Amino acid sequence: MHKRGVDRRRFLMGMGGLGLASLVSLPAQASLSAPVRKLSLHNLHTGEKVTASFWEEGRYLDEGLSTFNRVMRDFRRNEVHDIDPKLFDQLFLLQHRLGKAGEIQIISGYRSPHTNAMLRSNSKGVAKKSYHMQGKAIDLRLPGVPLAEVRQAALQLKVGGVGYYPKSDFIHLDTGPVRSWV
The domain ranges of the chain are: 24-181
Instruction: For residues 71 and 152, give the distance between their C-alpha atoms in angstroms, rounded to a whole number.
Output: 26
pLDDT in tens, 23-50: 444 444 545 678 899 999 999 999 999 9
How confident is the model over 159-165, as a mean pLDDT? 97
CATH code of the region 24-181: 3.30.1380.10
CA distances from 129 to 73, 110, 156, 158, 166 (A): 18, 13, 25, 22, 22
Residue 34 has what pLDDT?
Answer: 81
Instruction: For residues 19 and 5, give the distance between their C-alpha atoms in angstroms, rounded to a whole number.
Output: 21
Residue 13 has what pLDDT?
Answer: 45
Detail the DSSP E strand segments found in 44-87: 49-56, 59-60
Instruction: For residues 125 and 111, give the distance between their C-alpha atoms in angstroms, rounded to a whole number.
Output: 14
> Tell me, what amino acid is at 55?
W
Bridge partners (DSSP) listed for residue 181: 163
Residue 25 has what pLDDT?
Answer: 44
Residue 76 has what pLDDT?
Answer: 97
Per DSSP, the three-state class of 74 is: strand
The DSSP letter of residue 154 is H
Higher-confidence residue: 166 or 14? Answer: 166
Biggest alpha carbon distance in the chain? Answer: 68
Q: What are phi and psi of 3, to 5 degrees?
A: -60, -40
pLDDT in tens, 78-120: 999 999 999 999 999 999 999 998 999 999 999 999 999 999 9
For the chain, what is the mean pLDDT?
87
Residue 24 has what pLDDT?
Answer: 44
Residue 69 has what pLDDT?
Answer: 98
